[in-house]
Amino acid sequence: MQITRVLNDLKHHEKEYNVLTVYGGVSIYDQTAELRRGVDIVVGTTGRVKDHMERGNIDYSGLKSLILDEAD
C-alpha cells in the first residue's frame, strides 16, 4: 500500500497512469475485474501476483519494466 500511495502522489494529474495493488485477504474477483479493464502499474504481494499469473489475469506482452522487492 505504501508503494501505491507514493506512485499516486507522483502523478502530475489524476489520469496520468493507473495503479492497482493486489494482495490477499480481499476479493481476487474485484482485482481481476480491474486488471481486465487495464492498468499501467501493478503492485502486489508475491502470493497474490502468482495467483493472478496462474489464472492468466496479468498480460505481460507489453511489459517494459519489472521491479522485484523482497526487503522483508
pLDDT in tens, 10-41: 999 999 999 999 999 999 999 999 999 999 99
Whether 23 and 46 have beta carbons less than 8 Å apart is answered as: no
Cβ neighbours of residue 49 closer than 8 Å, sequence gap 6 or more: 22, 42, 58
Q: Give the orientation angle of helix 28-37 with respect to helix 46-55, to 10 degrees.
A: 60
Q: pTM for this structure?
A: 0.84
In angstroms, the Cα distances linking 9 to 2, 29, 58, 67, 69 are 11, 26, 24, 19, 20
Say what the pLDDT of residue 59 is: 85
**pLDDT tier at 62, thresholds 50, 70, 90:** confident
Say what the pLDDT of residue 25 is: 95
